[in-house]
Structure formats: structure tokens, C-alpha cells
């Protein structure tokens, strides 16, 4: 009786062991890549709004401070969406007949709020507080990106937990002076490696144990 396996089967069996490992690793890599992709995190995607409001024009071009509209960012968990009245403050005078702004005027006339679509949407089991981040020296730009260069608002960061933890593990890389919170395109006056640890100390930013404890954000 002849042999069932030819001699080359030895080489094939060894190669297949390697191939299995390679396939498993590739599958793992593909899964992790998809899970971090913009497709899953919905980062860098434009969202259709009732009025295509341009942050680039208002914050970048005209130079309106973030806090003119997002009034509660320093005192409340939510930065706040401005009421239509805030738009009308200016737009009763300028572009007051533009057809483009008709939804805004209709909203003001009928006393019905505009239904802005939330761009930065966190899961419901995580609680983010704007006031504490702003107080501790985390600038708008650090999380929201260059808003002054966004014709339409997009979510710049992945908003995944590893992204939060990146800063929570070592905030000294990102903190800035409080008077520079709303500055876009901020450049530290001295090297961040020197300024960061000093601000962490000055603003009494909590240590690693507190900042990475589950119950800081989850409850």
C-alpha cells in the first residue's frame, strides 16, 4: 500500500500552522481597524442641519467667541445650544432678508426652536462635564478641533474611551492657560513639556488614580 501523504505534506503542515496564526492575526487587525474607523465612530462626517450654519464664518471669519453662543460652558455640564434669539440678535440687522435664513426667522416668528442635530453624541452611560474641563484648562480646540476652519460642524475626535483616556492618563500634554481656552490655533508661549506640568499643579488637576477611575465618568 502506497503512503497516504506525499513527502511534501510535511512542508504543507508546517506552513499551515503559520498560515493559521497569520489569518487569526489579520482578522484581529481588521476587526480593530474597523472598530476605530470613522465608519463606526462617525468622526469626520458632515451632518445635515436645519440651517447649514458655518462655524468657519462665525468663529473664524468674524471672530465671535465660542461663549457668545455656548453660554453655559463654564458653569454647567452642557455647553449649551443657543436659542434662536441669539441668532436674531445679529440677523435682525444683517442678512435679515436672506432666503437662506428663512428657517431661523420662521423659528423666531413661531416661537419654535430649531431642531439642531447633535454632532458630538456620547453613549448614555458616560457623563461628560464641560465646566470642569474648561476650569482645568482643556481648550475647546483640544477636543473639537479647529472649529474656525469647519464650514460645517464635524466630530473631529473618535470620542472612544481610549481617546478620553489618552488625556486623562497625562493631561499635562494638552492643558493650556485658562485665558486661552477658546483660542483657536493656540501655540504655547513656552514649551508644552515645561508649561503642562506647571499648569497641572497650578490648576490642581487630580492624579492618575482619580482620573482613570471608572466612576469619574461612568455612573
Using CB under 8 A, pick the residue from 63, 99, 123, 185 that binds another protein: 123
Using CB under 8 A, pick the residue from 42, 49, 86, 131 that binds another protein: 131
Is residue 198 part of the contact set for another protein (CB under 8 A)?
Answer: no
CA distances from 160 to 36, 72, 188 (A): 8, 24, 27
* Among 18-26, 146-154, 178-186, 210-218, the segment contacting another protein (CB under 8 A): 210-218
List CB contacts of 55: < 8 A, sequence separation 6 or more: 147, 148, 150, 151, 153
Which CB sits closer to another protein, 7 or 118? 118
Is residue 179 part of the contact set for another protein (CB under 8 A)?
Answer: no
- Residue 136 CB, shortest distance to another protein, in Å, is 8
> Which 77-116 positions form the footprint of another protein (CB under 8 A)?
77
DSSP per residue, 129-180: -HHHHHHTT--HHHHH--GGG-SS----S---HHHHHHHHH-GGGT---GGG
Is residue 210 part of the contact set for another protein (CB under 8 A)?
Answer: yes
CA distances from 45 to 12, 38, 103, 154, 156 (A): 47, 8, 23, 6, 9
* Among 19-27, 55-63, 119-127, 168-176, the segment contacting another protein (CB under 8 A): 119-127
Spatial distance between the Cα atoms of 79 and 20, rounded to a whole number of angstroms: 50
| Chain residues that interact with another protein, rule: CB under 8 A | 74-75, 77, 123-127, 129, 131-132, 135, 204, 209-210, 213-215, 218-219
Amino acid at each position: 500500500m502506497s503512503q497516504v501523504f506525499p513527502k511534501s505534506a510535511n512542508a504543507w503542515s508546517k506552513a499551515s500552522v503559520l498560515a493559521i496564526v497569520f489569518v487569526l492575526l489579520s482578522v484581529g487587525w481588521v476587526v480593530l481597524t474597523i472598530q476605530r474607523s470613522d465608519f463606526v465612530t462617525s468622526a469626520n462626517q458632515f451632518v445635515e442641519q436645519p440651517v447649514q450654519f458655518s462655524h468657519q464664518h462665525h468663529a473664524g471669519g468674524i471672530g465671535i467667541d465660542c461663549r457668545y453662543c455656548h453660554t453655559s460652558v463654564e458653569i454647567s455640564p452642557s455647553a449649551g445650544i443657543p436659542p434662536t434669539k441669539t441668532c436674531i440678535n445679529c440677523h435682525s440687522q444683517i442678512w435679515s432678508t436672506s432666503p437662506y435664513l428663512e428657517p431661523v426667522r420662521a423659528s423666531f416668528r413661531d416661537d419654535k426652536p430649531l431642531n439642531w442635530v447633535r454632532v458630538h453624541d456620547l453613549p448614555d452611560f458616560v457623563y461628560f462635564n464641560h465646566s470642569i474641563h474648561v476650569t482645568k484648562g482643556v481648550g475647546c480646540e483640544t477636543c473639537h478641533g479647529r472649529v474656525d476652519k469647519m464650514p460645517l460642524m464635524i466630530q473631529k475626535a473618535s470620542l472612544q474611551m481610549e481617546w478620553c483616556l489618552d488625556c486623562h492618563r497625562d493631561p499635562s500634554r494638552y492643558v493650556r492657560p485658562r485665558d486661552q481656552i477658546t483660542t483657536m490655533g493656540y501655540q504655547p508661549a513656552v514649551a508644552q513639556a515645561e508649561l503642562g506640568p506647571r499648569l497641572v499643579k497650578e490648576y490642581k488637576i487630580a492624579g492618575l488614580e482619580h482620573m482613570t477611575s471608572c466612576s469619574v465618568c461612568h455612573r
